Amino acid sequence: MNRFVILLLTAVAALLVAMLPILLGPYYIRVLQTFFFFAGLGVAWNILGGYAGYWSFGHTVSIGIGAFTAAWLGLIFGAGSGPWSMILPVIAGALLSGLFALVIAYPLLRLRGTYFAIAMLGVSQVVAELVNNVSIFQGGIGVFLPSPVPSGMPVERFYYYIFAVVLSLLLLISWWVKRSRFGYALLAIREDEDTAMMLGVPTERYKMAAFVLSAVMVGLLGAIYGYSLGYFTTYSVFRLDWSLNMIVFCLIGGIGTLMGPVIGAALILFLTQVLLGGFLDLHLMITGALVVAVILVMPGGILRTRWRLPGRMPAREGAE
Amino acid sequence: MSDILLSGRGVTKKFRGLTAIDDVSFDIPHGAIYGLIGPNGAGKSTLFNLITGYHPLTSGSITFRGKVLGNMPIYRRNQLGLARAFQIAKPFPALTLAQNVRVGAMFGRPGDKNVERTTQEALDVTGIAHLAQRRAGELTVGDLRKLEIARAVATRPVLLLADEPCAGLNPTETEEMVRCLRAVRDAGTTVWLVEHDMKAVTNICDRIIVIDAGKKLAEGTPHEVVNNKEVIAAYLGTPVDDLPAHTP
């Protein structure tokens, strides 16, 4: 029965997502497109940070690598236009980002806790500076990507649908990871890595797999984001604040849960883009205060908080 | 195939200048409950850390089921049938007991299809099946110790190293733990345990190895060991009468 409810909800949500662009104006379609993108980033970060407990403070490095790889491929092969021209550069962006993660995984994943977080921050800064200052990478002057939007289709609608499909794909992967053997290994690593080893979990291998998978997901989003920009320089894609956003979405929604990052991203974006859109000078301050408040009141995030209706006794804790 | 499950030859561990384990040799046969005792700081936990692979040996060798362990990674040792319950229980606090135990069942013997059955059996043999859906973070010390054993047992070990399974337990809980370890042995797992509680040790162990200051002091049946002069001296100090006379 529970399964049926979930299936029904998914179907309703899918229908809603498909229909919304017809009802909404371009601004709100763009807000939703950004929401899908950010939620996707949160879902990807959550695989490594939420499931395996390895908090990365530099995950935007994968957005940058994904976006620039797509653009370089376009420059070299003179990729044409039309939606199908995106496929190869986008896949290449995702894969190169995964390959980069594989290379840095060996030294970095020996670090734990804060050390890993800071090391990732360092990696993202170093890569950003390289892309910006080494002239063949063209990060300083910027790169162009041809528009893949089919003629006659509004741009915001095109990317709305693409990001919606990609977010669904990432959620599906995350769901599969969470309920698989792989997911169990990551949970054990998060809870206590030494004990996990003693219970037969090949921790090194699983950590690396989570790191690479997470990077591929972010790289995929980054490459598509690059297309949606059309023209971008280093700092449009290597954005430090986004590294933090991914973490905040997960913290607010419920770290290590499947839907937590999506809920967190929805809440933050609704606040910053819709409610506070008119108070641009204040919105960062209010957002910051809200993040602090949520973490103080609900340390496990929205999904991990035991909600109870007012006026009723807590269900299980009873016996007092 | 020989009857010896685990053997150490000249096992030595030096931490910088300090020799924590000094030329210790041992043979643990199949099917027994062995004890490892010694005063605080004697090196009991260090010896277990060497066997399970948390520290590399300085010299000597350890053989398990006919394989020299050498630099074998910790998880491989477990998959070979070597499990360990830690002295300070290390549960996965956010997971339920069933999930805790399932990790052992899933990864201890890769390829096994009966994960659920193994999990249930491990919960049953340690007597914590009724707590299966509780989170490990909510448990009492006694139940945590049982969980520690259950998780190790779920990996279907041939040899279980239990580091002070009775530490901090009250007499009733200690008795339950002793019963639980016997059940584990009866199910075919050899047990080697570190223990301070002499009553528990002499009660449960077939043979005991005594170490002091990193060196092996004695080995024998509980009766032999508790009557061994050197062992008594290591635990209680040398009687005044036996000291050399003071010459003015």
**Position A45 confidence tier, pLDDT thresholds 50, 70, 90:** very high
Give contacts of A181 with chain B, Cβ < 8 Å. 106-107
In chain A, the number of structural domains is 1
* Contact between B103 and A184 using a beta-carbon 8 Å cutoff: yes
Q: Does residue A319 sit within a domain?
A: no
Residue B73, chain A, CB below 8 Å: the answer is yes
Checking if the pLDDT of A124 tops 50, the result is yes
B47: DSSP letter: H
Tens digits of residue pLDDT in A55-105: 999 999 999 999 999 999 877 776 667 788 888 999 999 999 999 999 999
Q: Does residue A259 sit within a domain?
A: no
Tokens of B129: 């099946």
Q: Does residue B10 sit within a domain?
A: yes
Q: Does residue A140 sit within a domain?
A: yes
Q: Which of B90, B106, B154 sits opposite A195 (nearest CB)?
A: B90
pLDDT at A161: 95
Cα–Cα separations (whole angstroms), residue A47 to A33, A214, A278, B100:
22, 6, 35, 20
Q: Which of A191, A192, A200 sits opposite B107 (nearest CB)?
A: A200
Q: Which of A184, A192, A197 sits opposite B74 (nearest CB)?
A: A197
Closest Cα of chain B to A174: distance in Å?
19
Tokens of A245: 């956003």
CATH number at residue B66: 3.40.50.300
Give residue B49's domain range.
Answer: 4-240
Burial environment of residue A228 by CB neighbours within 10 A (0 to 12, 13 to 18, 19 or more) = buried
Predicted TM-score (pTM) of this structure: 0.87
Residue B48, chain A, CB below 8 Å: the answer is no
**Position A135 confidence tier, pLDDT thresholds 50, 70, 90:** confident
3-state secondary structure of A132: helix
pLDDT at B200: 78
Checking if the pLDDT of A314 tops 80, the result is no
* Contact between A188 and B103 using a beta-carbon 8 Å cutoff: yes
Residue B103, chain A, CB below 8 Å: the answer is yes
Tens digits of residue pLDDT in A140-188: 899 988 888 888 888 999 999 999 999 999 999 999 999 999 999 999 9
In angstroms, the CA B11 to CA B47 distance is: 9
What residue ranges in A109-156 does DSSP mark as E strands? Answer: 143-144
**How many other C-beta atoms can be found within 10 angstroms of the C-beta atom of residue A188?**
29
* Contact between A199 and B151 using a beta-carbon 8 Å cutoff: yes
> How many helices (H) and strands (E) in chain A?
13, 2
Checking if the pLDDT of A306 tops 80, the result is no
Residue B211, chain A, CB below 8 Å: the answer is no
Give the contacts of A281 (CB within 8 A, at least 6 positions apart).
none
pLDDT at B74: 94
Q: Does residue A57 sit within a domain?
A: yes
Tens digits of residue pLDDT in A253-305: 999 999 999 999 999 888 887 777 677 777 778 778 888 888 888 877 888 77
Give the contacts of A310 (CB within 8 A, at least 6 positions apart).
none
Closest Cα of chain A to B91: distance in Å?
8
Angle, helices A203-229/A181-191, rounded to nearest 10 degrees: 100
3-state secondary structure of B75: helix
pLDDT at B240: 62
pLDDT at A301: 81
Checking if the pLDDT of A307 tops 70, the result is no
Which amino acid appears at position A4 of this protein? F
ipTM of predicted complex? 0.86
Tens digits of residue pLDDT in B146-171: 999 999 999 999 999 999 888 888 88
Residue B138, chain A, CB below 8 Å: the answer is no
What residue ranges in B45-91 does DSSP mark as E strands? Answer: 59-64, 67-68, 82-85
Residue B85: closest CA among B148, B177, B147, B140 = B148
In chain B, the number of structural domains is 1
pLDDT at A213: 98
Checking if the pLDDT of A215 tops 90, the result is yes
Q: Which of B45, B52, B54, B74 to mutate to test the interface with A (most CBs of A within 10 A)?
A: B74
Q: Does residue A279 sit within a domain?
A: no
Those residues of chain B that have pLDDT short of 50 are 1
Q: Does residue B247 sit within a domain?
A: no
What value does the CA radius of gyration of chain B take, rounded to a whole number of Å?
A: 19
Q: Which of A181, A187, A197 sits opposite B75 (nearest CB)?
A: A197
In angstroms, the CA B48 to CA A263 distance is: 46
Q: Does residue A263 sit within a domain?
A: no
pLDDT at B1: 44
Q: Which of A181, A191, A204 sits opposite B92 (nearest CB)?
A: A191
pLDDT at A316: 39
Give residue A188's domain range.
Answer: 29-238
Give contacts of A197 with chain B, Cβ < 8 Å. 73-75, 78
